[in-house]
Each structure stands twice: as C-alpha cells, then as structure tokens.
Amino acid sequence: MYIIKNAYLNIKRNISRNILISIIIIVIAAACTVTLAIRESAEKIIKSYEEENKIEASITLNRESLMNSFREANKTQEEMINSFNSIENITEEEIENYGSSEYLNDFYYTIETSVNAKDITEATDSLVKETTETTTETQTRTENFPGGGFPGGDHGGSSRTTTDKKTTTKKTEKIFNEKLDNGAFTLVGYNSYNDMKEFIDGTFVITDGEVSSDFESNSCVISEEIASLNNLSVGDTITIVDPKDSKKTYEFTISGIYKEEKSETTNASMFTNSANKIITNVTQVKNILNANSDLNSTITPTFILKDEASVDKFIEEVKNKGLNEYYEVTTNLDEINQGSESIKNVRVFATTFLIITLIIGGVVLIILNIINIRERKYEIGVLRTIGMKKSMVSLQFAFELLIVCLFGLCLGASIGSACSVNVANNLLANEISAAQSKYDNIGNNFGVAGSNMKDYTRNNKSFGVAEVSKINTINAVVDFKVLIELLGIGILLTLIGSLGSMIAISRFSPLNILKERS
C-alpha cells in the first residue's frame, strides 16, 4: 500500500515530467486505437467476403494433359477423336465417393444433356473422313473385221468382244464426338437453390413466375426467347422429346420464365447463349437418362471445401480415390484471394504500423525513464539505505509509470475512437451495402416472394451472403476485444519503459549515491 501511495505522491511532485510522458502515451494510444480499429474492420470485411465466397472445387477435363498425350503419341485427328470418345465421363457414383471427404462442408452436382446447334460455326469435334474403293465393271466392246481379218478365218468376216473398263467410287465416313447428342435444347437439372449459381449471382433473373422449390416435380423454367418464339407462358405445358428415340416424350409444366442479364453473346447472334437452355431438377433429367441408356450426359460437381488448408489435401485424396488422369480438380481459391487482396493489404499495413508505433513508443519511454532515474538517484539511495529492496524500489517506479500509462491510454483511446469510427465505418459501408443489396435481390432473381426467400436463406444460411449489421457507434468499432488489446499494450509499454529503470536501480550502490550527493 505504501508503494502505491508513494507512487501517487511522486507523480504529483514531478508533474511536468509525467505530463510529457502522458502526452507520448496519449499519442501512442490514439495511434494504436486507430490501427486496431482498422484491423478489426478489415477482419470483418474479410470474414464477410469469405462467407459469401466459399472455396469451391470442381472436376474438369484436363485438356492440356490430353493434348500432350496426343502429341507424344503422334496421333492423327481421327485417332484423337476416337481416343477422346474412349474417355469415360465422371459418374454419379464417383462424385458421391469424392464428396465423402473430411475436407468438405458440402457438395452438389448438376446434370445436363449435350446438344448441337444448327448453322453455327464451332470449334468442332467432328471430322469427315473420305475413303476410296476401286471396283471393276464389265463393259462389252465389239470390234468388226472384214473377210480374211483373222488368219485362218473364213473370208466372210468376224468380230471380237473385250472387257476392260474400270470405275472408281468414293465413300465418305463421319468421325464424330460420340459424347454429343443431336438435340435442339440443353436440359439442365439442379438439386437445390444453392446449386443455381446463375440465379444467385444475377446472371439469370426470373421475369415471370418462379423457380419451383420442389426439386422433384416436372416443372421447368425457360428463357424469354423460347417463350416469345413459341407464345409460351407460365402454366403452359411443353413436351421434351428424346433426341435418339422420338417415341419417348416427357411433359413439363412451365413454372417460370427467366432472362439472361449478363450475356457474353456477340453481335453476330440474335439470341443469348442460354436461349435454348431449359432448367429443371436432377430427378427429371435422371428419369430421361434412365429411360434411354444411349443418351449422353454431363455431370458437373461442385465441392465446398472447409478452408484453404483443405484444398491440397482434398485434391490429393481425389487422386488417390482413382480420378482419371485426363481429369483435374480445379478451385476458385486464386479468385477469392485476388478479390480480398486489397483489404488484406490494409490489414497488413495496420499491423505493421502498430508494431512500428510500439517500438518507437517503447524506445522513447525507456529513454525518458532512464533520464528520470538519473535525476532521482538520491531518492533511490535514501530508499535503499533505509532498507527497501531493489525489487520494491523498481516496483514503485513501475507503478508510477503504470498510473501515467493508464491515464494516457484512456484519453488516447477516446481520441483514437473518435477518429477511427469514421474510418472503420467508411471501410465497412461498401461491403455492408453490397452484401445487403445482394441478399435482398436474390429473392427477385428466383422469382420467389421476398419474405419467403428471406426466411429460407436465414434458416438455411444459403447463398453464402453474410447478414451484416451496419456499424454506426463507437462500441461497434472499439469493442471489448479492442479494449483488452489496448490494456495489453499499456501493460507492455509499462514493462518496456520500466526496463531501463530496473537495470539502473540494480546497478546503483546506496553508499556511492549518498557520497556523490554530499
């Protein structure tokens, strides 16, 4: 108790020096508060971004590996096409196997049938091969000779018949990609709202009706172009015909009509890329495929990884489970890192500035404390002479600095909070606005009533959109976590500042100090 009381009296006695130390602490505390608030804001933005943009992996054809193997084998174009036809598609069972992984949060897949488009020049998988066959045809040719024409013949004349004409006929053979079906439309099946990325990111937007929430029904959504050309509307029924067996037909009810908002179609085409895309659910597509084993389909899996550390482990696991060498696992990790790179740089800058501030502040406090100790050598000598231990003397000086630091921290934190709240809110404003706007518009994209869609997304944490509340008070930036960090900084500065005094006091001899004084 004596130490605390004496420390308080010494602070009042040396008020000018302690005011100088307080000013330095206030500046350090204000700077630390601003940097901690910026770091906290950056962390919230990054967390929100990562919640919105999950790390996703997919299995795609490794065309580079495929072409390299073709070149190494010196294959002709015909051999390339035949080799490509022999590559087996990823099956539903394989996807289920790959999806059973400790590195995933979830997985889903879409199924679609491949189609050909008429009168469009494309990067073709087809080759027309021309072969020749040589055949011999019998043709009668008669030559007449006058009498005596042949030796030993009669003098009445004779004739000779010969067969010598050959004709060559040409035959054509089409070598084509057997994985493609000759259909007019693309039928795509989804498992749930979460799978429908085009609607989530706003590429597709429902203009009439809605995407049915029953992902087993025979409902479908069609493009505005199909609807306009065929005078179709919500509630009408369309008939899907098996492209390889016209006797097999399937009835679908139109539940919605969509528009492609972000088309990459060039001016050379009247229609968007999705003009002939009919969207339904996986159950209906599988029913059609199961009815005709000759139909080809493309399964596109999407795997939701737990975190960045799981990416390489999952890729290695899939390879060990027997992934075909011509397929590869691709992720969107690079895109996610690039998207949050700027705000991560802000976080790094704030952390670096915080460290530099602490180093400079600590050095200044050590120097001031050493000066303070030299000016108070006689006081130290008296205290040591009357029997006070070195540790207790050092503790008294540490208490003095701690009291000054706490005062400076409180004042500096208040100043820093007043400055940082606007900075933090401005940093978060764009993210909050974008996230909230995207959340509100998803229901419109699906054509589902706003309140129903909000309940669905809230209960199921769907679409990866973080529900962020706007930060508009000091407590929202300088929260309990920041206060604890500031307190830790105060204790750290006290220890650093007291280090010089502890070393000096341990070296001082009481008798020498008093002799110097006398």
Neighbour tally for 247: CB within 10 Å: 6
For residue 442, give every residue at least 6 positions away whose Cβ sits within 8 Å of its Cβ, in sequence order, or none.
199, 200, 453, 457, 463, 465
The model's pLDDT over 156-200, given as tens digits with 9 standing for 90+, comes to 556 665 555 555 555 555 454 555 456 678 889 998 888 888 888
State the first-to-last Cα distance of the chain, in angstroms, to the nearest integer: 31
Please count the other Cβ atoms lying within 10 Å of the Cβ belonging to residue 197.
14
Rounded to an integer, the average pLDDT of 488-509 is: 75
- Residue closest to 328 by CA, chosen among 99, 78, 36, 57: 57
Which parts of 303-389 fold into alpha helices (H)? 310-320, 333-339, 341-375, 377-385
What pLDDT shows up at residue 39? 82
Q: Is the dihedral of CA 112, 116, 122, 124 positive or negative?
A: positive
- Cα–Cα distance measured from residue 495 to residue 401, given in angstroms and rounded to the nearest whole number: 9
Q: What is the pLDDT of residue 470?
A: 37
pLDDT of 205: 92
Q: What is the pLDDT of residue 173?
A: 53
Containing 130, the helix (H) or strand (E) segment is strand 127-136
Residue-level pLDDT at 517 = 59
pLDDT at residue 129 is higher than 70: no
**pLDDT at residue 473 above 60?**
no
Which has more pLDDT, 169 or 294? Answer: 294
DSSP string, 244-280: TEEEEEEEEEEEEEEEESS----TT-SS-TTTTEEEE
Q: Kindly report the CA angle at 405 between 14 and 481, in degrees rounded to 5? A: 170
User: Does an H or E element contain 173, and which?
Assistant: strand 166-175
Segment 363-411, tens digit of pLDDT:
888 888 778 777 777 777 777 777 778 778 778 778 888 888 888 888 8
Candidates 96, 83, 101, 90; CA nearest to 328 is 90
Res. 450: pLDDT tops 60? no
CB neighbour list of residue 398: distance below 8 Å, 6 or more residues apart: 494, 495, 498, 501, 502
What's the confidence (pLDDT) of residue 257? 94
- In the 8-state DSSP scheme, what is residue 91? P
The residue among 294, 323, 301, 331 whose CA lies nearest residue 111 is 301
pLDDT tens-digit readout, 74-117 = 877 777 777 777 777 788 889 999 999 999 998 888 888 754 33
**What's the pLDDT at 516?**
61
C-alpha neighbours within 13 Å on the C-beta side of residue 498: 21
The 8-class DSSP code of residue 32 comes to: H
pTM check: above 0.85: no
pLDDT of residue 116: 36
Task: Give the pair of three-digit tokens for residue 447.
Answer: 């054509």
Q: Looking at the predicted structure, is the pLDDT value of residue 265 above 50?
A: yes
Assigned token pair, 510: 């009481």
Average pLDDT over residues 55-68: 84
Distance of CA 356 to the CA centre of its chain: 33
Render pLDDT for 196-213 as a digit per residue (tens, 0 to 9): 888 888 889 999 999 998
Q: Residue 35 has what pLDDT? A: 84
| Average model confidence (pLDDT) across the chain | 75
Q: Is 44 helix (H, G, I), strand (E, B) or coil?
A: helix
Please give the pLDDT value at position 104: 92
Residue appearing with tokens 């407590």? 475
Rounded Cα–Cα distance for residues 112 and 128 (Å): 27
Bigger pLDDT: 118 vs 479: 479
> Between residues 504 and 156, which one has the greater pLDDT?
504
102-124 exposure pattern, b = at least 16 Cβ within 10 A, e = fewer: ebbeebbbbbbbbbbeeeeeeee
pLDDT at residue 122 greater than cutoff 50 = no
Using pLDDT thresholds of 50, 70 and 90, give the confidence band for residue 234: very high
Percentage of the chain lying above the pLDDT 70 cut: 69
Answer whether residue 126 shows pLDDT above 50: no
Tokens representing residue 128 in the block: 């027309």
Q: How far apart are CA 458 and CA 456, in angstroms?
A: 6
Kindly tell me the number of DSSP H helices and DSSP E strands found in the chain: 17, 14
Cα 375 from Cα 386, distance rounded (Å): 20
Region 230-259: what's the mean pLDDT?
87
- Tell me the mean pLDDT in the region 433-443: 61
The amino acid at residue 34 is: V
Ranking 150-154, 233-237, 367-371 by mean pLDDT, the lowest is 150-154
Bigger pLDDT: 437 or 195?
195
pLDDT in tens, 478-498: 677 777 888 888 888 788 777
